[in-house]
Structure 1
Amino acid sequence: MNTMQNALVAWLLFATLLQTTAIAQQAHSKQQLSSQDLQQQLLSEEVTELTTDKGSFLTLQRQALTSYTKGTAILVPDWHEHAASPDFINPLRQQMNEYGWHTLAVMPPDILLTEPSANEADYQQQLVQRLNAAIRQADSQANLIVIAKGSSAALLNQLFATEQLPAPAAFVMLGAYLADVKLNRELANHIASQSVPTLDISHQRDNRFVSANLQLRQQLVNRNLKTQYRQRQLTGTFYDADTHAWVLKEITGWLHSIGL
């Protein structure tokens, strides 16, 4: 190999290293920037950092605004959102306080899109660690419910079904999906096989993966004789105040119907 070839190989290795470093820094900075923005925008008493083996992560805590406390609602955004996402998560983390619930919104792990299969496994592992940290932060003597959105909701079904996470008193899914036809069908099996009382909320304007298997989910739930499952599909304008109010009403009404 001549000098020019050596130089070319060295340059290619250096360029690859720079690209890998840039991708990692981009993912890290995205979560870091979101955390910094939330720390500046929100009251300091709401912002808390919890720790896992992978490092610390931001959570947003609010106390119940009633004379009684029903328990803690852990809220998990979709993978590309933050802990105060305006798409359901932030309204719910504030409004649930008026119904006797402490709320704890969790910043989801970062995921890189360059290696989906490897990143999905890493995302799931980090999700387990963050949920366990949030559960430890919650009052262990009170009811614990989980409200999750999108792919985070889908993965949590698998974690509950395989007992990698302790089962909450109730689980609310908002537009649960996985962006793969086979995995999205497997999601229906996970919903039917985990024993957690589950409210499955979707919207007519959700992406195609959400609506593709709603009927299959209900069929498998019926086959497995899972009694505490309710499926609700919303209509209307996406993510406006009326839809947020509708979702809140569906959640609080369903929780009341199962004794929470």
Structure 2
Amino acid sequence: MKHHILLLMISLSNTATFAASVDHTPPIDLSELQAIDIKHYVQDREINVLTLDESEYLTLMKEETTGFPRGIAFIVPEINQSIIQQPAIKMLYDNLTEYGWRSLLLTMPNIEQTNGSFNNVQKTDNQSASSASENDQQQEADSSLQSNTGSNSSSENDSETVREPNLRLKAYHQDDIFSSKTNAEIEEQILKRVESAWQYAEQFPGYFIFICQGKSCAWLTSLFQQQKLMQPDALIMLSAHMPQQDLNDQFAQQLSETEFPVLELFKQIDNRWVSSSIQYRRKLARKHYKTDYRQRKLNSHIAFGNNNMRTVKEIYGFLTAVGM
């Protein structure tokens, strides 16, 4: 029996030593995984690595195929998605070169969305519970006082029992996704990528236009409006929106205050945040006399990539109309 116990102890000791000696390899970062896929499927001559503040950013570049270059088209895709999975972005990157534009496709950071208002909501709920408890205690005291004094003012008791309405139950309410801190951090990461791309593109002649999709349009517009970036010659937006009411309204306000031409493309059946803000952005643009703002609806129900040449021709027509 003692022999078996000794063997068991030796075996457990060896197992523990082996487990301690094994190195734990953390899972690969999603951005690195997407970069590996891009390098595998894209031709080497299109891959371009940019650096800024000791950080490296992967971009793709395709040269114009016309004799007269028009300029650089900075393509800013949606965050948290591989550029390979965004057909509109890939389609514009491939086809704008035939119209004289050098395409520079940026890769965006992968950021986990968090509920920025969760702690605030918890705090509000606790405060409500605390105030309700205080009200109950006050009501009991008032009730005792009234019984001693013989007061019969029931109307005052009824008014004291009124609770504040739960505003979180309002129609169309949705908890915030991005806190102010998270929103600023994402803007900062996009700023660094665009700055490095801008510095690289200064060696090429022509106009500088930006094409963005989804939430990236809001952060990009904010950076332009705050003058943290040089002003582009034009901005083209695809299904631009923020999935949060206050940020969506802020986006519309900032967009109406920009001084460069803006073309907004949206689908007939689009994201509800896009559909709900199209008219509001149009009204703000009119209010601020932004005469170089255009909206165009495309009859595509799934993605802009399905309306391949229509999307490109809308962009080409708009740029021609504003002198590019």
If the TM-score is normalised by the length of the shorter chain, which range does it land in?
0.7 to 0.9
Task: Give the deviation of 1:240 after TM superposition.
Answer: 6.4
SS of residue matched to 1:177? coil
Aligned partner of 1:126 in structure 2 is: 189
Task: Give the deviation of 1:211 after TM superposition.
Answer: 1.1
1:143 aligns with 2:207: yes
> Which of 213, 234, 242 matches 2:298?
234
Aligned partner of 1:21 in structure 2 is: none
> Which of 190, 194, 210 matches 2:258?
194
Paired positions, count: 235
Task: Give the deviation of 1:241 after TM superposition.
Answer: 5.1
Q: Which consecutive residues of structure 2, in runs of 5 or more, have no partner in the other structure?
A: 1-25, 117-177
Aligned partner of 2:309 in structure 1 is: 245
Give 1 or 2 for the bigger CA radius of gyration.
2
Q: Which consecutive residues of structure 1, in runs of 5 or more, have no partner in the other structure?
A: 1-24
Tell me if structure 2 keeps the 8 A contact 1:76–1:83. Answer: no
Task: Give the deviation of 1:242 after TM superposition.
Answer: 4.3
Aligned partner of 2:274 in structure 1 is: 210
Task: Give the deviation of 1:142 after TM superposition.
Answer: 1.8
**Residues 79-128 of structure 1: CA deviation (Å, up to 9, x unaligned):** 12233443310110110000000000000012122364233221110101
Flag the 1:124–1:54 CA change in 2: closer, same or farther, 3 A. farther
**Residues 153-173 of structure 1: CA deviation (Å, up to 9, x unaligned):** 111111111111111110001
Once residues 80 and 224 of structure 2 are traced to their aligned partners in structure 1, the CA distance between those partners, rounded to angstroms, is: 22
**Residues 198-240 of structure 1: CA deviation (Å, up to 9, x unaligned):** 0011113321111111111111111111111101122233126
Q: How does 1:27-42 map to 2 (within 5 A)?
A: 29-42=29-42
Task: Give the deviation of 1:196 after TM superposition.
Answer: 1.5
1:219 aligns with 2:283: yes
Aligned partner of 1:169 in structure 2 is: 233
Q: CA RMSD in A?
A: 1.7
- Deviating beyond 6 angstroms after TM superposition, the runs of 4 or more aligned structure 1 residues are none
Q: How does 1:1-40 map to 2 (within 5 A)?
A: 29-40=29-40
Tell me if structure 2 keeps the 8 A contact 1:59–1:83. Answer: no
> Which of 250, 255, 260 matches 2:319?
255
SS of residue matched to 1:165? coil
Give me the identity figure in percent. Answer: 30
Once residues 111 and 304 of structure 2 are traced to their aligned partners in structure 1, the CA distance between those partners, rounded to angstroms, is: 28
1:109 aligns with 2:173: no
Task: Give the deviation of 1:73 after TM superposition.
Answer: 0.2
Tell me if structure 1 keeps the 8 A contact 2:91–2:305. Answer: no
Once residues 193 and 323 of structure 2 are traced to their aligned partners in structure 1, the CA distance between those partners, rounded to angstroms, is: 27
Once residues 313 and 31 of structure 2 are traced to their aligned partners in structure 1, the CA distance between those partners, rounded to angstroms, is: 31
SS of residue matched to 1:92? helix
Once residues 254 and 220 of structure 1 are traced to their aligned partners in structure 2, the CA distance between those partners, rounded to angstroms, is: 20
Tell me if structure 2 keeps the 8 A contact 1:72–1:139. Answer: no
Tell me if structure 1 keeps the 8 A contact 2:88–2:304. Answer: no
**Residues 16-67 of structure 1: CA deviation (Å, up to 9, x unaligned):** xxxxxxxxx76x7111011110101010000111112261111000000011
Aligned partner of 1:178 in structure 2 is: 242
Aligned partner of 2:11 in structure 1 is: none
1:72 aligns with 2:55: no
SS of residue matched to 1:213? helix
Task: Give the deviation of 1:187 after TM superposition.
Answer: 1.2
| TM-score, normalised with respect to structure 1 | 0.85
